[in-house]
Amino acid sequence: MTERKTPLDTERREQENAHNKHRKKESGFTGQIGFVMAAAGSAVGVGNLWRFPYLAAKDGGGLFIVIYLILALTFGFTLLTSDIAVGRRTGKNSINAYAAMNPKWKFLGIITFLVPAIIMTYYAVIGGWISRYVVVYLIGDGSAAASDSYFTGFITDPLQAVMFAVIFMLITAFVVFNGVEKGIEKCSSILMPVMLVMIVAIAIFALTLKSTDAEGVTRTGLQGLAVYLTPNLEGITFGRLMQILLDAMSQIFFSLSVSMGIMITYGSYIKKDVNINTSVHQIEFFDSGVALLAGMMIIPSIFVFEGIEGMKAGPSLMFVSLPKVFDSMHVLGRVVGLAFFLMAAFAALTSCVSVLETITANCMEIFHLERKKATIILTVFYTAASVVVALGYSLFYIELPLPNGSVAQILDLMDYISNSFMMPFISFLSSILIGWVIGPDWIVEEVEYGGKKFGLKGLYRFMIRYIVPVMMFILFLESTGLLGG
Ligand code: PFF
């Protein structure tokens, strides 16, 4: 394969390629499919299954969906392309990748590294909650799970919460311990297709549901689908539209796992013949597709059994409202409940793996550690951290007011710092670095490497220079409460 001649520093480029060649021998994805599965595995997680549906229910159904899709195709595309291209071009993880782009910007690599380092303290705890529900449906305890206090009872029980978090953490560590190809790629390539089949099946099933309530009103799954998809413009104001826009934007970050170094690390594992442009479209398609399907499965089910009111449950939709729905389905509910939480556990596992992998890869690079040793050390550390976070609803219970007006326990605090505070900040600074310091062509070149087509490069350049910095700055102000939102 020949390299296109460009006005950029060719000597530096040769050095990068030499580094990449060396690196690929150590570890890497086998090809585009393996990479897309792993990246989609990272992207598809609790964000798609739990957060997207409740935001859609809260933010006007179809209106939120349309805004989300437009933003995914513009912002999501820009941020994902940047991360993957930075990873492949430098062949490094976030800390060193930013230093390679411009030595003065190493600080941004360090801040980026801190995001997965913080997320890892609580992601296994959420994975533990999901695993707990898998066990509940497995042993046929679904009716107990449908009671209002079940979820709170479980997370406030120190032993239970810790046990499931630790189990989830150890499974994650096992995958990372086995490396990029034999651990991560293999795990995602098996679990992702299974997960997709399960979610499609449950979503279709949800549309066939029908129930008559005590007042004799019959509601169907298809009516629920209409509620989900129809844009609700009632009482819409500029402020409200802005709020929906910002909700959709922060969801895109979290959902695509961008601006946290994960896609930089995964990008550093791909070969030069992989087409970044088509990979980005495939990952986005997978991620948005699962989010839409999750809504199609959850919203109609809730609508059928609990009506419009039920959809206002917010964050408790998945752990409190859904078990009620499964309970209303009687015997069938046990099977569907098990399938749902198993699928959610797969989605959470592939995401959790990507977080631990990113931290491990950075530590291997910085401390010159070998994978197995790095994984063991980090597993000990994060198991301890997960225990503390899991105990944040019992022994270490706190009530901390956040600048955005909500009250946080330890888990919410970690989530707030990493997602609401750091991610927009990182995207803002990265867009300045790429758009204005090194220039968008540094990325465009990598995407076009080997004569590949980058049809939307005009859009990319425009977004990264003008739109992303402005919007990220607004998002940052909003989520820190500085905008009064
Ligand atoms: N993208 C994942 C989701 O939508 O659930 C969540 C996620 C994965 C967030 C990895 C953060 C992360 F580091």
Residue 142's pLDDT is 87
Q: What is the mean pLDDT of residues 355-373?
A: 96
Tell me the three state secondary structure of residue 408.
strand
Domain of residue 58, residue span: 10-479
pLDDT tens for each residue of 281-337: 999 999 999 999 999 999 998 899 888 888 777 667 888 888 988 998 888 899 999
45 CA closest ligand 1 atom index = 5
Give the C-alpha separation, 343 to 333, whole Å: 15
Residue 485's pLDDT is 47
1 is a domain residue? no
Residue 1 confidence (pLDDT) above 50: no
Average pLDDT, the chain: 90
Q: pLDDT band at 402, cuts 50/70/90? A: confident
Q: Is the CB of 291 under 6 A from ligand 1?
A: no
Q: What is the mean pLDDT of residues 432-458?
A: 97
The alpha carbon of 252 and the centre of ligand 1 are apart by a number of angstroms equal to 10
DSSP H helical ranges for 257-275 = 262-267
Residue 19's pLDDT is 52
321 is a domain residue? yes
Q: Write the burial class of residue 483 (CB in 10 Å: 0-12 exposed, 13-18 middle, 19+ buried).
A: middle
Give the C-alpha separation, 320 to 9, whole Å: 57
Residue 84 confidence (pLDDT) above 90: yes
485 is a domain residue? no
484 is a domain residue? no
4 is a domain residue? no
Q: Is the CB of 349 under 6 A from ligand 1?
A: no
228 is a domain residue? yes
- Among 351, 355, 415, 427, name the best residue to mutate to test ligand 1's pocket (greatest count of ligand atoms within 8 A of Cβ): 351
Give residues with Cβ within 8 angstroms of 38, minimum separation 6.
29, 184, 185, 188, 189, 266, 350, 354
How many domains is the chain built from? Answer: 1
Crossing angle of helices 276-310 and 238-256, in 10° steps, is: 130
347 CA closest ligand 1 atom index = 5
Give residues with Cβ within 8 angstroms of 164, minimum separation 6.
128, 129, 131, 132
- Among 122, 255, 258, 421, name the best residue to mutate to test ligand 1's pocket (greatest count of ligand atoms within 8 A of Cβ): 255
188 is a domain residue? yes
- With contact defined as beta carbons under 8 Å apart, do 183 and 314 qualify? no
Count of other CB atoms within 10 angstroms of residue 438: 15
Give the C-alpha separation, 419 to 73, whole Å: 21
pLDDT tens for each residue of 241-275: 888 988 898 899 889 999 999 999 999 999 999 99
pLDDT tens for each residue of 342-353: 999 999 999 999
Residue 136's pLDDT is 94
The alpha carbon of 236 and the centre of ligand 1 are apart by a number of angstroms equal to 30
pLDDT tens for each residue of 89-129: 999 999 999 999 999 999 999 999 999 999 999 999 999 99
50 CA closest ligand 1 atom index = 5
The alpha carbon of 9 and the centre of ligand 1 are apart by a number of angstroms equal to 35
Residue 12's pLDDT is 56
Residue 311's pLDDT is 76
Give the C-alpha separation, 470 to 437, whole Å: 16
pLDDT tens for each residue of 16-61: 555 554 454 457 999 999 999 999 999 999 999 988 998 998 888 8
Q: Which CATH number belongs to the domain containing residue 154 in this structure? A: 1.10.4160
What is the pTM assigned to this prediction? 0.91
358 CA closest ligand 1 atom index = 13
Q: pLDDT band at 10, cuts 50/70/90? A: low
Residue 484's pLDDT is 58
454 is a domain residue? yes
Q: Is the CB of 42 under 6 A from ligand 1?
A: yes
